[in-house]
Structure 1
Amino acid sequence: MRAIITTKYGSPDVIDLREVKNPIPNDDQVLVKIYAASLNYGNLVLLKGKPFLARFAFGLSKPKYIIPGGDISGRIESVGKNVKHFKPGDEVFGDLSGCGWGGFAEYVTVSEHSLVLKPSNISFAEAAAVPMAATTALQSLRDKGKIKSGQKVLINGASGGVGTFAVQIAKSFGAEVTGVCSTRNLDIVKSIGADNVIDYTTEDFTKNTENYDLILAVNGYHPISAYKRSLSPNGNYVMVGGSGVQLTQAMILGPLLSMTGSKKLGSFLQRPNQNDLIFIKDLLEVGKIKPVIDRYYKLSEVPNAFRYFEEGHTQGKIVITM
């Protein structure tokens, strides 16, 4: 099979497309023929080995997982004898980041617990755009942010992969959603259901008089003190992406600031979870969420996909088609 191989950390120039042996599933795995995959921030961390702390999970001197790629969709080719929930021919999608990655290839072996059945009303390409970003949005809003119906929720970075799902998932919980993005993304954020949209190039939401019950920081930068000022009493600020300074503030200052009042501030890291992916699948099936896809690249064009992703202006997701 063809696969993307990375044997050292670096720029997209270190990426190599090779012919390698097809994987063989063990008794607890399924073999998936991959039809599409997608890029997430975790893929960039795995490519570059930055921030350095990530290397304790991905390999100190070189990548532990030489075939990158977490989000996939495809069709099951064969199953191990202990597999209970899938059969050959099933159309599936899932997140491989918790079980060895390997999504930028034509085939992969994976635990059945990392997959769910693909909704019939979306394509393989659309399904591949979903798992990590949608799960991050769901977990950060529901589990960390404690979202409730009727709350005022602000999504800073509403036009990216996580942000576009966060807007839609927050709406599905009955929230009034404000999306923050650049001028060129205003129409996209409006089209996915945001009640209000703020153009950060002309307005700083932290300096107006509006307060929010929940702020999800997906991209951009504001001091954590500014986020705190924009929270309602008993409000929550959850940082899931942005600059390194913003991450440091959320991890170190967030818990300290949370001790001095009723407002809660902190960071969140997504964890692959099959039950959450089933929850997301249900939202997809009833049309409450839909993936926003910016560009498609072939497997041979993965280096160019990374270069575009690095620019930081992606509208929704980047999909790799096999």
Structure 2
Amino acid sequence: MKAVLHTTYGGPEVLRFTDVEPPSLADRDVLVRTRAASVNARDWHLLRGDPYLARLGAPELGLRGPKLRIRGTDFAGTVDAVGPGVTDLAPGDAVFGEAPGAFAEYVVAPRERVERAPSTLTMAEAAALPLAANTAVMGLREVAGVAAGQSVLINGASGGVGLFAVQLAAADGARVTAVCSTRNVETVRSMGAHTVVDYTREPLTGRYDVVFDLVGNRSFGELRRLLAPGGTLVLSGGGTSEGGSLFGPMGLVLRAKALARFVGERVVVLAAEPTAARLAVLRDLADAGVLRPLVERTYPLAAAADAVRRMETEHTRAKIVLTV
């Protein structure tokens, strides 16, 4: 099968579109014929082994090179085969999910990380959901418990997670303040933000019940000052490409973890875990019209390097998706 191979750290130019052996099935696995796979910021982080400190502990990374050789995480497609332990999915079913190795013609996913796809979405749109929308749902509903009437600040509102977070918080009745750059103001507003702050033109002020930081470009002290008494700060990912960094957004994360117990506000570093139950929630939210994926651009699988380069360097709006 064709796949996007990653064998050494570097920029998008190190990716190779080539032939590899197809994956094999275990008892509770699902083999999916990939139709679309979305690009996430984590792809360029893993591509560069960035930040360098992550090479000491991330399961995908080694000190001198990646441990997993095919990039990509989010996918949508059709079931090609199932392991003996899978009885509720069958060949031909339209599915979506999250598993390593999605930048390929076929991907194997544990049954616990794949679910039937939303019936209202295209394959490209369904592939845009898993990692980004799951992060938004976990951060806002499971961790922060956002309720009607609360004030929510979303820093990094025009990215993949950010646009889902804006939609979700608005649907849950919160007053949403979204932070983005000039070119994305109208897009973010159209997704449900009540107030949009263009960080290139105005300072970020106010106090909020929930601050959802998706960028990692502000200090822990700055983020705390944006919280109302008893508020919740949720940190998730972030970082911009500098061609390689020692700490990247991990500096903020490590500082937050160290200081969280000594401050009055609630501080949570989010680890978004995909499960079939959470994927089912995303499917239902999409089919109900609550979450609407916005795909900025699609690329063929063979042009994965160009897609990752655009994600890394051009601060893309919403999602970029590979079609297979």
Q: Where in structure 1 are there 5+ consecutive unaligned residues?
A: none
Give the secondary-structure state (helix, strand or coil) at the position aligned to 1:198: strand
Residue of structure 2 equivalent to 1:283: 285
Distance in 1, matches of 2:260 and 2:85, equals: 49
Of 220, 231, 236, the match for 2:232: 236
Tell whether the 8 Å contact from 2:70 to 2:102 is kept in structure 1 after alignment: yes
Amino acid at match of 1:81: P
C-alpha spacing 1:27/1:220, structure 2 compared with 1 (3 Å): closer
What SS does structure 2 have at the residue aligned with 1:58? coil
Matched letter for residue 273 of structure 1: T
Give the counterpart letter for 2:85 in structure 1: N
Q: Equivalent residue for 2:149? A: 150
**Which residue of structure 1 aligns with residue 87 of structure 2?**
84
Partners of 2:162 and 2:214 within 8 A in 1 = yes
CA shift, 1:267, in A, is: 2.3
Normalising by structure 1, we get a TM-score of: 0.92
Q: Deviation digits for residues 101-147 of structure 1, max 9, x if unmatched? A: 11001112221111110111100000001100011111111233232
Distance 1:216 1:22 in 2: 39
Alignment CA distance shift 1:254-1:79 (3 Å):
closer
Residue 299 in structure 1 maps to residue 301 in structure 2: yes
CA distance in 2, matches of 1:82, 1:254: 40
**In 2: Cα distance, 1:236 partner to 1:250 partner:** 15
Taking the TM superposition and a 5 Å limit, the aligned residue runs for 1:167-206 are 167-205=166-204
Q: In the aligned structure 2, how far is the partner of 1:26 from the partner of 1:142?
A: 33
Give the whole-Å Cα distance in 1 for the aligned partners of 2:248 and 2:14.
Answer: 28
Structure 2: which amino acid aligns with 1:283? L
CA displacement at 1:304 relative to structure 2: 0.7
% identical aligned pairs = 40
Q: Displacement of 1:189 after TM fit?
A: 0.3
| In structure 2, C-alpha distance between the alignment counterparts of 1:142 and 1:251, rounded to whole Å | 24
**Are the counterparts in 2 of residues 159 and 316 from structure 1 also a CA contact under 8 Å?**
yes
Matched ranges for 1:89-104 at <5 A: 89-96=92-99, 101-104=100-103
> Contact conserved, 1:250 with 1:265, CA < 8 A, in 2?
no
Matched position secondary structure for 2:238: coil
With over 3 angstroms needed to count, the CA separation of the structure-2 counterparts of 1:255 and 1:233, relative to structure 1, is farther
Q: 2:313 is aligned with what amino acid?
A: E
Hey, what does 2:38 align to over in structure 1? 38
In 1, are the aligned partners of 2:50 and 2:248 still within 8 Å (CA)? no
* Residue 254 of structure 2 is aligned to residue 251 of structure 1: yes
CA offset digits 1:45-99 (Å, max 9, x no partner): 2211111233232232221111111000000011122112211110000010xxx
Q: In 2, distance between residues paired with 1:306 and 1:4?
A: 11
Deviates more, 1:136-145 or 1:157-166: 136-145
User: Per-residue deviation at 1:258?
Assistant: 4.8
Q: What is residue 129 of structure 2 aligned with on the other side?
A: 130
CA distance in 1 between counterparts of 2:249 and 2:144 reads 17
Q: How does 1:158-169 map to 2 (within 5 A)?
A: 158-169=157-168
Q: Which amino acid is the alignment partner of residue 71 of structure 1?
A: D
Query: Quick one: structure 1 residues 102 and 257, their matched pair in 2 at CA, closer, same or farther if it must change by over 3 Å?
Result: closer
Distance 1:89 1:246, change over 3 A: closer
Residue in structure 1 matched with residue 243 of structure 2 by the alignment: none
